[in-house]
């Protein structure tokens, strides 16, 4: 049986594969495996007040689903992470900053953003040991401008690797 995704199932329970029972009037109806349109028709014709509530709920759910799908669409992120080891030689990874990148993705602008984040965290340039990047020429340029060794991986995000020094 498919999971019940429609809000209409608030008002009905399945008796078996072909029969449902209305929770409001206790009437049973044969569905014969069909969709939920017959259930909506029953609610609309027999339980008008509840049908109005259902329509509002259904509309709100559909709107929320659309907004959820659109929230991350077309958003570019630039992240600055550090990786190292602690005093017990356990691997440590931290996201220092993750920012939206709304401008053009030129190497100059990416390098500028990376340098701003590095300066914000007071990380000297010589402490940056590697930049893991995707294959874009803009990322190659950003690494070159920032004077960071680069390693190409098939990723869609940029990760700057910072090795913690033992001496401070």
pLDDT per residue, tens digit, the chain (168 aa), is 555 667 788 888 888 888 899 999 999 988 876 788 888 899 999 999 888 888 887 777 777 666 665 555 567 777 888 788 888 888 888 888 888 877 778 889 888 888 888 888 888 888 877 777 767 788 888 888 888 776 655 434 444 444 444 444
Q: Rounded CA gap, 91 and 15, in Å?
A: 54
Which structure tokens are listed for 47? 């339980």
Domain residue ranges in the chain: 7-71, 77-162
Q: Report the predicted TM-score, pTM, of the whole model to 2 decimal places.
A: 0.45
C-alpha–C-alpha distance, residues 130 and 124, integer Å: 13
**Collapsing DSSP states into helix, strand and coil, what is residue 83?**
strand
Nearest Cα to 42, choosing from 32, 57, 30, 33? 30
Nearest to 1 by CA among 23, 16, 21, 11: 16
Q: What is the pLDDT of residues 92-124, one digit of tens each?
A: 888 888 888 777 788 898 888 888 888 888 888
CA nearest neighbour of 110 among 145, 134, 83, 82 = 145
Reading the block at residue 168, the tokens are 């401070």
115: exposed, middle or buried (Cβ count in 10 Å: 0-12, 13-18, 19+): middle
> DSSP E strands: which ranges in the chain?
12-16, 19-22, 28-30, 77-85, 91-100, 128-133, 150-152, 159-162
pLDDT of residue 93: 81
- Rg of the chain over Cα atoms, rounded to whole angstroms, equals 28
Q: Rounded to 10 degrees, what is the CA torsion of 35, 41, 42, 45?
A: 180
């Amino acid at each position: 049986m498919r999971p019940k995704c429609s809000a209409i199932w608030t008002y009905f329970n399945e008796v078996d594969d072909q029969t449902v029972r209305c929770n409001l009037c206790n009437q049973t109806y044969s569905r014969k495996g069909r969709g939920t349109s017959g259930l909506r028709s029953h609610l609309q014709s027999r339980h008008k007040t509840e049908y109005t509530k259902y329509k509002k709920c259904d509309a709100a759910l559909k709107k929320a689903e659309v907004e959820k799908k659109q929230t991350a669409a077309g958003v570019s992120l630039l992240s600055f992470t550090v990786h190292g080891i602690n005093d017990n030689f356990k691997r440590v990874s931290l996201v220092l900053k993750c920012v939206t990148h709304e401008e053009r993705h030129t190497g100059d602008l990416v390098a500028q953003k990376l340098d701003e984040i590095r300066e914000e965290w007071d990380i000297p340039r010589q402490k940056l040991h590697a930049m893991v990047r995707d294959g874009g020429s803009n990322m190659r340029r950003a690494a070159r401008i920032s004077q960071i060794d680069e390693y190409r991986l098939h990723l869609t995000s940029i990760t700057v690797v910072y090795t913690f020094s033992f001496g401070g």
